[in-house]
Amino acid sequence: MTPIYPGSVDAAGRRATLGVLGGGQLGRMFLHAAQRLGYFTAVLDPDAQSPAGLVSHHHIRTGYDDPAGLAQLAQLCQAITTEFENVPAQVLQTLAQTRPVAPGAAVVGIAQNRIEEKVHFAACADVSGVSCGPYAVIETPAQLQAVQADRPDLLPGILKTARLGYDGKGQVRVKNAAELAAAWAELGSVACVLEKMLPLTAECSVLVARGWDGQVVSFAPQRNVHVDGILAVTHAYEGNLPPPLATRARDAAVSIAQHLSYVGVLCVEFFVVDDGSAHGGLVVNEMAPRPHNSGHYTLDACDASQFDLQVHAMAGLPLPQPRQHSPAIMLNLLGEVWFDAGGQRREPDWQAVLSLPGTRLHLYGKLDARAGRKMGHLTITGPDVASVKTVAHRAAALLSLPGLDAV
């Protein structure tokens, strides 16, 4: 990989341009990081009002599998990434024939399929020291019957579609064999994974960045709280997890990235389970081949954000080891914030929220507020953990956010 330096001009007279497939908020924040360094940017997304498309130098308004659009993206850009894992892996493979693409199609393909993802986690468990929880694959009626008859240990559990499930979508909790059969039918009898319900004490994630040359840097693990399958609160400060557990999670995430020969920012999510040990056991849940919602606090609490590292990695620049300068709590802002208890639309009380010390508001430029839609996030930083928690609790109360007990 020959480094693509910001502000450079190639032999054809084109300025250094980085491209992204997908026009959502992750793409928008990636573009801001790239533009701050001096790169031109291009987005391929069919939505004329997409958050990333509205702030990019170039917006190719076409589908992700449109040959003409992909050719235009490749012609404009010196390197290309994706902001979400459900872009067709074949598209990344096509683009990689002429341009550096990070992450690569093979890795994204693994993350798109829970079955392949779990096989990968098992394959690197000896090195990472962490494996996934008990599960079974259900792709056929025969496999469903076999699980019902031979794997009662997996119930109660969560049935998840192998593909396209995120933020609580494509998931059904089941308590017994009858509910399992009904849930599989409800999900369309598609390929699924049944995961055993575990005695969770916490959830955490680790952000890793790996370059083309194999250099790896990472952030400290963040502790996450989900409500209805959607991230609500991220705790990012020293002591958010027991130190031995945090070290294990960080080492495991690095091992997983290395095993994949990954390039770019990777988020690995873990469950902390009550296994009777002093600090609990660690189980790997899933990975996201991109910057992640739980890492948004890095924009305000670190000297290099997850998006800065994504730019550095894909462009072949050196990867700085990020340093966190302030404890932080991030609160996710979903569409419900824009409606009162009676369902009437209202503007959130930003005057009160932004008068709180250390608050930083990030809205994503989405025009329509809907239930469950990620509209923005609020990061609170401060001189110490106690003050950050106090302000976060006040902000959550003002915005009627869930998960107050977790703040």
Pairing of strands 200-210, 222-227: antiparallel
Q: Annotation-wise, does 287 bind a ligand?
A: no
Distances in Å between the Cα of 18 and the Cα atoms of 49, 57, 220, 232 are 20, 10, 28, 31
Q: Tokens standing for 154?
A: 């997996």
Q: Annotation-wise, does 269 bind a ligand?
A: no
Map residue 140 onto helix, strand or coil. coil
Q: Annotation-wise, does 64 bind a ligand?
A: no
Q: Annotation-wise, does 226 bind a ligand?
A: yes
Q: How far apart are alpha carbons 52 and 25 in whole angstroms?
A: 6
Q: Which residues does 130 contact at the CB level (< 8 Å), separation at least 6?
A: 121, 248, 249, 252, 270, 282, 283, 284
Dihedral pair phi/psi, residue 30, rounded to 5°: -65, -45
The DSSP result for 244-296, as a single string, is: HHHHHHHHHHHHHHHHHT--EEEEEEEEEE--SSSS-EEEEEEEESS--GGGT
Q: Annotation-wise, does 114 bind a ligand?
A: yes
Give burial (CB, 10 Å; 0-12/13-18/19+) of 337. buried
Q: Annotation-wise, does 118 bind a ligand?
A: no
Q: Annotation-wise, does 179 bind a ligand?
A: no
Q: Annotation-wise, does 45 bind a ligand?
A: no
Of 124, 126, 23, 139, nearest in space to 81 by CA = 23
Q: Tokens standing for 16?
A: 């250094």
Q: Annotation-wise, does 198 bind a ligand?
A: yes
Q: Annotation-wise, does 171 bind a ligand?
A: yes
Sequence-distant contacts of 180-186: CB under 8 A, at least 24 apart: 180/144, 180/147, 180/148, 180/155, 181/144, 181/148, 183/159, 184/138, 184/144, 184/159
Q: Tokens standing for 67?
A: 């040959």
Unique residue bearing structure tokens 């940017």 = 41
Cβ-contact 382, 391 below 8 angstroms: yes
Q: Annotation-wise, does 196 bind a ligand?
A: yes
Helices (H) and strands (E) counted in the chain, each on its own, are 13, 17
Q: Which residues does 115 contact at the CB level (< 8 Å), separation at least 6?
A: 137, 162, 191, 193
Q: Tokens standing for 279?
A: 């600090």
Q: Annotation-wise, does 375 bind a ligand?
A: no
Q: Annotation-wise, does 336 bind a ligand?
A: no
> Per the annotation, where are the binding residues?
114, 160, 165-171, 195-198, 203, 226, 285-286
> Per the annotation, where are the binding residues for ATP?
114, 160, 165-171, 195-198, 203, 226, 285-286
